[in-house]
Amino acid sequence: MRLIQLTLGWLAGITLAGNLSLPSRWFVLAAVIAAVAIAFDRSRGRWLTLMALCIALGGVRYHLAQPLIGPYHIERWADSDSVTLIGRIEDEPRRDDSGQQIVIAVTHAGTDNRMTPAEGRVLARVPPYPAYYPGDRLQLSGQLTKPHPAQRPDEFDYRAYLARRGIFVLLNRPTAIQRLTGYETSWGLAPISQFREHCRRIVLRLLPEPQAALAIGILLGIQAGLPDTTRAAFATTGTSHILVVSGWNFTIVAATLSALATLLRLRPWQAFWISLTIMWIYAGFTGASAAVVRAAMMASLALLARTAERQSEPWRLLLAACSLLTLINPHTLWDLGFQLSALATASLFAFGKPVERWLNGIHWLTHPIVAAVREALTATLAAQILTLPLMLYHFGNLSLVAPLANILIVPVVPIAMLLGMVALIGGLIWLPLGQWLATIAWLPLSWITGTAAALAQPVWAAIAVPTFPLWFLLINYAIMIGFWLWQRPDLTEHIDVDNAV
């Protein structure tokens, strides 16, 4: 319980610093006072001082992560005439049906006749072809603009969202793009990104649509290509979470690697290092978003605990992963995918057992034939307890068919993922072999898309929820946490982490 309180203090400090205009010196002063108080405090309430120290340190870490806007920052060129930029692609490009979003780390800026040193990050929207990769050096020309702030208090603040990624300038529809000679490495992301794009093209030759787009989403983490009607069907049925790479994918990867290590009779630590390497390559392969890194980190900690023959207490693993991610980058806390992933995992830990006991009281669900259905329904309902308020706050869409849709679709996703991976590997070896294997993978993929489309047909499948303010969302979470604490769950109870990552 102390670890939970200290971690929540750290996260609260980051949140306060990010939402309040408090100068960094206040957090530094609070951290010094708390550290001095801890040195002399020997009372039973010493943990309150430790929590205050964590809050102050969280605020300090947030301020240290803020970019410095100096005289050479690219923001000074915004809202002016056409500018020419030179820089390299820093992150994995985000591709969709209409183009690519690339983040450029600028090194020079100016006009065609005179270039001066510059710094900063620019978000550029470029055509879908040719494909660009991390490390590519580009020269772009166009007009730089600043992102618009929110017009209303309850509106999404795109400027603040980009600022947390260190981006203050946009370049939409550049008039000229040129790939420059010379290449700057980007921590090995470019070869992985190129191989990922090659795999995407292979899958498109193995499967028809929309099965191909679904396979690309669950295997490679690429969302482009899925038809709008299919995407809307998944949103209506509350199954959009299967379209992205999440902790569940790492559960399947870890289970497969564990089975292979047992089959090959590898020593425990040999299997650990091999599995760890493959999981993190897969994390980079799928884009390395905050939620993916969180899941990979938690799976790695669980694997380490199992190899060292120590009990992997789930709350400590979740808190360690969240703390380490926010220590590396405090802005991760505002990533919606990270929030939903962490809340879903915490919801499984907190409410999995109560939901299971409640379902066991329903007589027809206790029959052995529906055991798998009951397990899927338990995980679905438990995970949605903490994630549903946040999803309603951001999207305002309440799916009434979500429990039934998850029961029918979720158990099939691991089968589709494994068969799709086998078909992809076969296609990489020999295209006709992959096409033959893809006929088997087509069946579970078609079941997933067809079931989502069928359940989304009724007009009552989903209802629109009126927008509500942030304070109402916080009150809902306070009530949920208070109810959970009132139940006083045993936090030291062992939970199967492999099925909750």
Cβ proximity of 312 and 349 under 8 Å:
no
Of 12, 40, 64, at which residue does a domain stop?
64
380 and 481: one domain?
A: yes
DSSP annotation of 222: -
343 and 485: one domain?
A: yes
Query: How distant, in Å, are the alpha carbons of 202, 207, 286, 424 from that of 411?
Result: 26, 21, 22, 21
Scored b (16 or more CB within 10 A) or e, 16-54 reads bbbeeeeeeeebeebbeebeeeeeeeeeeeeeebbbbbb
Of 186, 215, 241, at which residue does a domain stop?
186
Two tokens, residue 497: 């982490």
The answer to whether residue 386 sits within a structural domain is yes
92 and 178: one domain?
A: yes
99 and 178: one domain?
A: yes
The whole-number pLDDT of residue 493 equals: 43
Cβ neighbours of 292 (radius 10 Å):
25
**What distance in Å separates the CA atoms of residue 441 and residue 434, rounded to the nearest whole number?**
10
26 and 162: one domain?
A: no
97 and 7: one domain?
A: no
341 and 395: one domain?
A: yes
CATH number at residue 170: 2.40.50.140
Q: Judge if pTM exceeds 0.85.
A: no
The answer to whether residue 143 sits within a structural domain is yes
Q: Which of 385, 392, 396, 407 is nearest to 452 (CA)?
A: 407
- pLDDT per residue, tens digit, the chain (501 aa), is 567 778 888 888 998 888 787 888 899 998 898 888 887 777 777 778 888 888 999 999 998 888 777 788 888 888 777 888 888 888 778 877 678 888 898 888 887 678 888 888 899 998 888 888 888 889 898 888 888 877 766 667 788 888 878 888 898 888 888 888 755 555 556 677 778 888 989 999 999 988 898 888 888 877 766 777 888 888 888 887 777 766 656 766 666 676 677 777 778 788 888 888 888 877 877 766 666 777 777 777 767 766 766 555 677 777 877 888 888 888 888 877 778 777 877 887 788 777 777 777 766 555 665 555 666 667 767 777 888 888 888 777 788 888 888 778 877 887 888 899 899 999 999 999 999 999 999 999 999 999 999 998 888 888 888 887 778 888 888 888 887 777 654 544 443 444 444
Bridge-based pairing of strands 136-142 and 83-89 is: antiparallel
Residue 115 structural domain = 74-186
The answer to whether residue 384 sits within a structural domain is yes
**What distance in Å separates the CA atoms of residue 429 and residue 271, rounded to the nearest whole number?**
25
Element containing residue 108 per DSSP (H, E): strand 100-110
Of 186, 215, 250, at which residue does a domain stop?
186
14 and 140: one domain?
A: no
The answer to whether residue 21 sits within a structural domain is yes
48 and 82: one domain?
A: no
32 and 175: one domain?
A: no
End-to-end CA distance of the chain, in Å? 20
144 and 39: one domain?
A: no
81 and 179: one domain?
A: yes
Q: How many distinct structural domains can be found in the chain?
A: 3
